[in-house]
Structure 1
């Protein structure tokens, strides 16, 4: 009897610890997290992720990222077009004996380094200002020659062009050779520019492409550009092209294979993709019925008619023991900033209690 009562005491002590919630655990129980969800004054809403719920969730706004539009491709001229800031070299050939443009022992007059003015014109002796902006180099050559023929009938004109800032784009980071790239024609696309700069760096995670044009920023992923030719948009002079890693991420906590912050490795990440990325659930601790996804919406998204979440703070629940839960997880999109919380299995808590009982009983046996 002297040995029996200490053992009973140990059992009661272990059960008391469990009742007080002081057992060592790495995650909360699902019931603990969702406690009070049915209270009208609760500051969060709970939505089980099922096949029937997926169309509703798909209509709700994205969180944690700024949605950017993109520019579809369009055809342009394969010719160069002169713009303000470009530099022209004009060569005027004249075989006349008493030429106004050349010395007696010369046959060509060279007008080099003529910068196209802000107004789009250049100055040619004996003619004056000639507007060349918006013309191709050949069209500008013909215009200069026509103007000269009235003064020097035998003159023939050659013209060469060097692109200036308005006829170039800037590639900012994310490529092998960032810097200024000249537009060889008006049909120069974003993929052609990236190729000219040595391609995207291999170290970037799910590379994103941005075009800064005027006061607007357009964005998409490099994988979309590869897959859809209609998105390979034509660049304009002055564009800034930025290639950078995908900044979106999600977090995993609780009884998961890994607890960490994980970047998006593709354009769209499903709950099942995310679960695979974090190494799945902990086999010994996790409750497969209690995978929770925590998300916070802006106040403007809250709607009580089903067109949006009922609260700013939302918890989506996934039951991975059912086929509907597994298929739904594959089609439920993770948003940037989401938290995947794998709750603790109640069985794991019971196992902890029994281990405590066994350890305590062994200690008592030793003492006796």
Structure 2
């Protein structure tokens, strides 16, 4: 009996000494935040509550610029402005019997498909070249009539516009029917061309619409584009649209149902939603009092002139066992490139040691019985 107790004592001592090295799937919260108490910590720890959420929301964004750069609806042309490559149909009416510009018995003459040249002009008989680029159809009509007046005082001019081949929009991808789409009018908008291209497939994850215009690049989420009519920008000739899935993501790690790189399914994501996307907390392992969000800010986010973090690297902590912590997690936004870590409960280590201790006691008892 004495030898059995001695054996148990030795084995328990070994278990206690090796407890810290038992295999685990995630860190315990205290292990990660241990540096918090040091004299010169390299990261900041913020316990997130309902009280400090409003202040944290004023901090600079991390992982992306935090807003969409998109032209407004007035950035296009509201009227039919004539451009190089357009064609004009010019009809000149003259009621005089001996008119210079009409044949006997006719009341008008028509010149179709007169192309606007590189200098922005068209050529017409009797008046030579007339500069029309930058004018509307009405402006071109007025200018042509003024030029004809000294020659045919009674002439009346009509002008209709045919847009040139350069007046098209390219839709590159992320739609049912990518291709080049001619602009039917100057009032052609983003939603118009997306509809003509067959729309955005429903299986595309949180699609973004990117607009390439000259040297400028704009982008917006499709949800915001569809929700806000002021975002339905007018298109300009040679614009290019690209629809693609959002590449913003966060890292899921620790004692959760899923450890992976998780893409944002929508523009804004809260901590509670992120935990849900991670498959929740593992019942047997997770510490609901130790859900952490690890974030790294740009160096210019640290400034005394505006609210922000004290250090570039910040660990935000959440206690999901309290109503305050749950409400805070519902409001706290996840930024792209964040790491959401569910720490392991300290009870898991204790439970493992006790299970091993029970197994040792059982083996010892069997050994004692055999000895007797």
Q: In which range does the TM-score fall when normalised by the shorter chain?
A: 0.7 to 0.9
Aligned residue for 1:59?
Answer: 58
Give the CA deviation at 1:263: 1.0
User: Is the aligned partner of 1:82 residue 2:82?
Assistant: yes
What SS does structure 2 have at the residue aligned with 1:230? helix
Matches within 5 A, 1:40-189: 40-66=39-65, 67-74=67-74, 79-88=79-88, 114-137=114-137, 139-141=139-141, 143-144=143-144, 147=147, 161-164=161-164, 167-189=167-189
Matches within 5 A, 1:250-329: 250-303=250-303, 307-329=307-329
Give the CA deviation at 1:159: 5.4
What SS does structure 2 have at the residue aligned with 1:219? strand
What SS does structure 2 have at the residue aligned with 1:34? helix
Contact 1:80 1:184 in 2 (8 A): no
What is the alpha-carbon distance in structure 2 between the residues aligned to residue 153 and residue 360 of structure 1?
116
Aligned residue for 1:243?
Answer: 243
Give the CA deviation at 1:109: 7.8
Give the CA deviation at 1:25: 0.4
Normalising to structure 2: TM-score of the pair? Answer: 0.85
Give the CA deviation at 1:140: 3.4
Residue 361 to residue 100, structure 1, CA distance change in 2 (3 Å): farther
Contact 1:248 1:264 in 2 (8 A): yes
What is the alpha-carbon distance in structure 2 between the residues aligned to residue 243 and residue 35 of structure 1?
45
Give deviations 1:208-244, integer Å, cap 9, x for gaps. 1233334433332111122222222222334333322
What SS does structure 2 have at the residue aligned with 1:3? helix
Normalising to structure 1: TM-score of the pair? Answer: 0.86
Contact 2:82 2:135 in 1 (8 A): yes
Residue 333 to residue 6, structure 1, CA distance change in 2 (3 Å): same
What is the alpha-carbon distance in structure 1 between the residues aligned to residue 64 and residue 75 of structure 2?
31
Give the CA deviation at 1:343: 0.3
Residue 278 to residue 159, structure 1, CA distance change in 2 (3 Å): same
What is the alpha-carbon distance in structure 1 between the residues aligned to residue 142 and residue 218 of structure 2?
39
Gaps of 5+ in 2: none
Give the CA deviation at 1:107: 11
Residue 65 to residue 141, structure 1, CA distance change in 2 (3 Å): same
Give the CA deviation at 1:11: 2.0
Contact 2:250 2:262 in 1 (8 A): yes
Give deviations 1:332-352, integer Å, cap 9, x for gaps. 011000000000000111112
What SS does structure 2 have at the residue aligned with 1:81? coil
What is the alpha-carbon distance in structure 2 between the residues aligned to residue 269 and residue 122 of structure 1?
56
Query: What is the aligned residue count?
Result: 366
What is the alpha-carbon distance in structure 2 between the residues aligned to residue 91 and residue 323 of structure 1?
77
What is the alpha-carbon distance in structure 1 between the residues aligned to residue 24 and residue 138 of structure 2?
78
What is the alpha-carbon distance in structure 1 between the residues aligned to residue 107 and residue 364 of structure 2?
115
What SS does structure 1 have at the residue aligned with 2:341? strand
Residue 270 to residue 366, structure 1, CA distance change in 2 (3 Å): same
Q: CA RMSD in A?
A: 3.3
Moved more, 86-95 or 109-118: 86-95
What is the alpha-carbon distance in structure 2 between the residues aligned to residue 166 and residue 91 of structure 1?
25
Residue 307 to residue 194, structure 1, CA distance change in 2 (3 Å): same
Give the CA deviation at 1:187: 2.6
Residue 40 to residue 184, structure 1, CA distance change in 2 (3 Å): farther
Give the CA deviation at 1:290: 0.3
Give the CA deviation at 1:28: 0.2
Contact 1:56 1:306 in 2 (8 A): no
